[in-house]
Amino acid sequence: MEAHDFKAAWERDDDVLHLFTSEEIGHARTSSVAEHFLTTVGLPLAAAPCLSFGEQSLDWPPEEARQGYLPIGSDGAGNPIVVDSDGTVLLLDHDGRFAPSYVNSDIPTLAEVLLKYRDLIDDAATAPDFDGELSAILRERFAVFLEKLDPRCLQENRMWSGELQLR
């Protein structure tokens, strides 16, 4: 997804993006694509499923968990979300000694998935019988989307595959 397309789509309902600064990126080695996206468009301050990005998430990972990674956010359990040197987005499991787990292939893919998931939640919320759970039809629609965009994120013990199982 192109950065400007994501920005326009995300902000259409006055949702806020956190624009990363050069200081936040610091000396972390990451891809030029990731750095460009983060510093020109940013990521949502908050996004389903219980993700946060930006300043509030950047300082807490211990130094040993940061080595080689750029912290960009965290999940609802407090696990850091990071970008590695080739631009891959990972989740570091704080209960598992910060073992990395694949999230998405890069920042633009993560942004597209966040946008699709937000739209999926919006679709679910308009159903008259919505009880906070995604229907099997909506979960399947999201899985098909992920399979086309970034099939690796559907492998076992990945954030997105786990989210599909939880809902």
- Rounded distance, CA 151 to CA 124, Å? 23
Average pLDDT over residues 52-66: 69
**pTM, full prediction:** 0.91
- Rounded distance, CA 36 to CA 95, Å? 31
Per-residue pLDDT, 58: 56
Please report which confidence band the pLDDT of residue 97 belongs to, taking 50, 70 and 90 as the band edges. Answer: confident
The position carrying tokens 């990126």 is: 25
- Rounded distance, CA 63 to CA 40, Å? 27
Ordered alpha helix ranges (H), 20-135: 22-25, 32-40, 55-58, 63-66, 107-125
Contacts (Cβ under 8 Å, ≥6 apart) of 69: 28, 80, 82, 83, 84, 90, 92
Per-residue pLDDT, 167: 46
Average pLDDT over residues 119-123: 89
Which residue ranges form the domains of the chain, and what is each CATH number? 3-106 (3.40.1580), 111-166 (no CATH)
Length of the chain (residues): 167
Per-residue pLDDT, 124: 83
